[in-house]
Structure 1
């Protein structure tokens, strides 16, 4: 089913995206980086690099990440996304498009250089490209050297080419033209190196700004239609709107021991289950439903940020009625809500109430009331999930804790300049660092060879290779680490459990009292759990010690 996600007028909301820019900028910084695409496997080894047919055309880290993210999040017929709690996926995508635009401007200039010299000195250009392709094949990767054996082979091939050219039976102007075939591409390389160096400095400046806290918003003018028939801009605008709609979806996915995708593993669980008996032995219980308790909890939890003492305390939490769908632990994809009960990737309010009241046993989606705190500039996401079930005469209220840790340190790596140790001109017994160009000879050749093919991205993917992202993909949980190695993050996760549990139980007791239920057993159990939660410890609650 297709939706029109036209956002209309965009008005900044007070507090919108608060505490999420740090993680968003850290992830977005990868779009501006150089290096080997396989480096990202340090953050998640489920990511994989698919090699292409020619190593000379392989992308670097920023190019591969940008292409993978654009295809995964804006591509036609793509799989559903997992919400990125603690991050802003639209911001990351916009930075990827901005980095792509910077490289596109560079590639336009390189394409012009290649066109001019390929037309005038095609044999020489092909010879140089062939030599660099042989070198990369012998080296095996971007950072390795060809070795002595490789240098001998390259030297032999170069000498053979010179001998062949010198022995060709031509005279006059044609002889000068043949002799110009080898040095002419060197002039093209010098021109291209200047273009590549300027772009590399620009990309690194964006990389450093994002990680330094001063990153400006991404500029993507191609997302603004220039005329009513600008199909590409309209497609991009709708793609960004769909990303925002999926981010705001109220459906999440439970992947067994992996916990809720996007929220982290379940580290603790507290259950209250007692029999519903009337307060008046001769009377009866007033009818009520699970939704009445869940709604009362929602209203009381909104007051969590308030307390009797001025101590700072909780920031305003995000409180949401979630529809939770089970997926396999190793599921490669998830499904969006569909049918008449779905609206723009979310389950409508009436269906949420029905699930809460009726779908408590057997197959189907489940209802959870979630309280979420985004802390540490998006590095820590604490989610307390509450579910209310009534089976026969037993009312059960279960409170579980989920925690999503900080993103991997890979995303916090800042750009380092390239240097070389050389003898000091005065203190000859010591050495000093001499700055080197950001783009070396083989990198210029790689960029120049790729430039004409960037106008045909699918063919470039086949020839150069691609980066495959882990599935089911979400920008935040894919790169998350455990929060328990950080003392204060672990404390924050444990401390959030007690107040949420007590507020949930207080709201439940109030609804029961208003409907004529004997709350003595519920109150005693709530007090016991209130004492038990004070010594909360993180455990692998989803593995059941099995």
Structure 2
């Protein structure tokens, strides 16, 4: 599907828009593109329902392994902008387009670094290949040994490097042969070392730049993601045009009114269902001499929709609710362990949006058996996007029974891994003359092994599949959405939990009041509905969230 709307939002530096209060998760997720820790750290952000898979590369090619930022930014860009990608889950409380743009910016910064490192590798490595291979073999052995938990094995790696260095010096002094090949052999020993020094300077400059962006994002300075490759420079810039369209399509899918119910996982993107309250009574005429005036589920839903708009108003000036987002949702059921979703298609769908007439028809007719269902949702994005509270209302009429169900969903903050700021590398060492005391020693920002890793990877970055095969990559949890994949439960945060629980009672009362009003207007006896509503109003004050989707059957 081609989406033409929203192009004006993707040119130039991008900063999160503040209208929906989703800056914190957006910037936290975007900062992952600039991180330099081990790729295995992404596993720390897994939750009960979604796990990220770290795919290892070849055992003999650990020197090609990516770090967290490299693997994350590449995986996110491929998954969210790749050709033929599968549908995405909306990121409520965040802006996925901004995160993707930061991933593109991080890839561009690394690509510029890799271009320079490739030139160094060609001049100082490829032309002196025997020496380069010998040094790489030493570093590969050292890196493999360093992984051992045995301290003696770890010390052996350092001793090995020193010993090889001493042999190299001896080889230079006492060359076994002369002439051209003698000088070439000397150069083959020295030039890879010279190239390493040049590569170290390049790597350190880029590492400082990436860390500054990482820190700026988490400090709230909203550093812009410069993505010039999304701006076509001429009629033949097909790659830029395709990237621009992909970003616009991503933005359109984020605004879709179609969501997916995955059993105990709840509605994907909205979090698990923690509470459910149902009002179900028989439709009896208020006047036995007259029949009930015919009405449909949509009439009740429309009345509830109008009354929910008044939630931010109250009799007292005490702050209260911020303005909520009130939308009609089409909910599609999928399996708990489904690996993909399929969005509705056809003439009733345009730019990922189910049209209003189709929504009304689903609301009135698809209430029993197979098919999508209609829900009216009222949603708050709180705590600067860290908490998303969604209350969903559905109205069904079967035979002479009207049922109004209100369910609560809560999506918590992004995992703390994404909100951790960069720290300068350091270690604690024992003082020489005071062994009972320690001191902090600063370490180089880029280690020796890291320089070698980046220099070796650089020539292969032009073909990512080969690099992924050698060094490994990460597989994002499916069905994938940036926000819910790494969200924690809100119940560990006292105030977040309070906000989720407090929202239920007023919403439930507004829903019941609006529904009973429609029933009265259409000649329905509302005595039983009122009694049931009063009972539920008492029940909803129970402060304990429950796993409403886990049935004890």
Partner of 2:296: 289
Partner of 1:26: 28
Partner of 1:236: 243
- Deviation, 1:346, is 2.2
After TM superposition, list the pairs within 5 Å mapping 1:492-507 onto structure 2. Answer: 492-507=499-514
Are residues 1:123 and 2:130 paired? yes
After TM superposition, list the pairs within 5 Å mapping 1:217-366 onto structure 2. Answer: 217-366=224-373
| Pair 361,195 (structure 1): closer, same or farther in 2 beyond 3 Å | same
Q: For the residues of structure 2 that align with 1:427 and 1:178, how far apart are their CA atoms?
A: 48
Partner of 1:512: 519
Q: For the residues of structure 2 that align with 1:10 and 1:151, how far apart are their CA atoms?
A: 52
Are residues 1:198 and 2:226 paired? no
SS of the residue corresponding to residue 534 of structure 1 reads coil
| Pair 141,108 (structure 1): closer, same or farther in 2 beyond 3 Å | farther
Q: Contact 1:48–1:467 at 8 Å: present in 2 too?
A: yes
Q: For the residues of structure 2 that align with 1:420 and 1:154, how far apart are their CA atoms?
A: 22
Q: Which moved more, 1:219-228 or 1:430-439?
A: 430-439
Q: Deviations over 1:299-351 (max 9, x none)?
A: 11011111111111101101111111111111111111112221112211111
- Deviation, 1:16, is 5.5
Q: For the residues of structure 1 that align with 2:6 and 2:416, how far apart are their CA atoms?
A: 35
Q: Contact 1:323–1:366 at 8 Å: present in 2 too?
A: yes
RMSD between aligned alpha carbons? 2.7
Q: Contact 1:136–1:146 at 8 Å: present in 2 too?
A: no
Q: Contact 2:148–2:154 at 8 Å: present in 1 too?
A: no
- Deviation, 1:120, is 3.3
Are residues 1:56 and 2:55 paired? no
Q: For the residues of structure 1 that align with 2:378 and 2:332, how far apart are their CA atoms?
A: 18
Q: For the residues of structure 2 that align with 1:540 and 1:328, how far apart are their CA atoms?
A: 18
Q: For the residues of structure 2 that align with 1:525 and 1:243, how far apart are their CA atoms?
A: 44
Q: Which moved more, 1:13-22 or 1:503-512?
A: 13-22
Partner of 2:471: 464
Partner of residue 491 from structure 1, selected from 498, 505, 514: 498
Q: For the residues of structure 2 that align with 1:160 and 1:16, how far apart are their CA atoms?
A: 61
SS of the residue corresponding to residue 184 of structure 2 reads helix
Partner of 1:137: 144
Q: For the residues of structure 2 that align with 1:20 and 1:231, how far apart are their CA atoms?
A: 32
- Deviation, 1:151, is 5.2
Q: Contact 2:113–2:203 at 8 Å: present in 1 too?
A: yes
Q: Contact 1:319–1:371 at 8 Å: present in 2 too?
A: yes
Structure 1: segments with no counterpart, 5+ residues = none
Partner of 2:78: 71
Q: Which moved more, 1:74-83 or 1:167-176?
A: 167-176
Q: For the residues of structure 1 that align with 2:501 and 2:64, how far apart are their CA atoms?
A: 50
Q: Contact 2:298–2:363 at 8 Å: present in 1 too?
A: yes
Q: Contact 1:17–1:88 at 8 Å: present in 2 too?
A: no
Partner of residue 102 from structure 1, selected from 95, 109, 125: 109
Q: Deviations over 1:2-38 (max 9, x none)?
A: 2233424449999854310111101111110011111
Q: Contact 1:52–1:462 at 8 Å: present in 2 too?
A: yes
- Deviation, 1:172, is 2.6
Q: Deviations over 1:113-136 (max 9, x none)?
A: 111113432221222122222222
| Pair 339,471 (structure 1): closer, same or farther in 2 beyond 3 Å | same
Q: For the residues of structure 1 that align with 2:7 and 2:321, how far apart are their CA atoms?
A: 33
Q: Deviations over 1:481-517 (max 9, x none)?
A: 1111111111111100011011111111111122121
| Pair 141,210 (structure 1): closer, same or farther in 2 beyond 3 Å | farther
- Deviation, 1:374, is 0.7
Q: For the residues of structure 1 that align with 2:128 and 2:16, how far apart are their CA atoms?
A: 60
Partner of 1:3: 2
Q: For the residues of structure 2 that align with 1:223 and 1:153, how far apart are their CA atoms?
A: 48
Partner of residue 540 from structure 1, selected from 526, 541, 547: 547
Structure 2: segments with no counterpart, 5+ residues = none
- Deviation, 1:262, is 0.8
Using structure 2 for the length normalisation, give the TM-score. 0.93
- Deviation, 1:446, is 0.4
Partner of 2:406: 399
Using structure 1 for the length normalisation, give the TM-score. 0.94
SS of the residue corresponding to residue 288 of structure 2 reads coil
Q: For the residues of structure 1 that align with 2:552 and 2:432, how far apart are their CA atoms?
A: 66
Q: For the residues of structure 1 that align with 2:30 and 2:16, how far apart are their CA atoms?
A: 23
Q: For the residues of structure 1 that align with 2:436 and 2:525, how far apart are their CA atoms?
A: 88
Size of the aligned set, in residue pairs, is 545
